[in-house]
Structure 1
């Protein structure tokens, strides 16, 4: 009985633990801040995947 209670407490404690944020750090050569369409709508370089990531998260 004590084992079951201990396992239940551990399971609840693990499930209540705060989730860590997902962070994506992109390093690109010869790409400036204004080259991503999500940050600069006048950009001539299409960046659909970066636009989607920026729309779904924080920039």
Structure 2
């Protein structure tokens, strides 16, 4: 299926958010996720089904001062 990841169209085969993150190379990274502008906590990623044309935002925490 095709989904939009941080503004880029990507082709994935994973049916849920947790598997899609692994497929996209995020594995166990500490990130925040949103699907179609709705925040998805890490505990719900395995139960969050993705469909064609979903919009996925992946944000990594930044450090600095």
Tell me the TM-score normalised to structure 1 length: 0.24
Structure with larger RCO (C-alpha < 8 A, sep 6+): 2
Larger strand fraction of residues: 2
Tell me the TM-score normalised to structure 2 length: 0.23
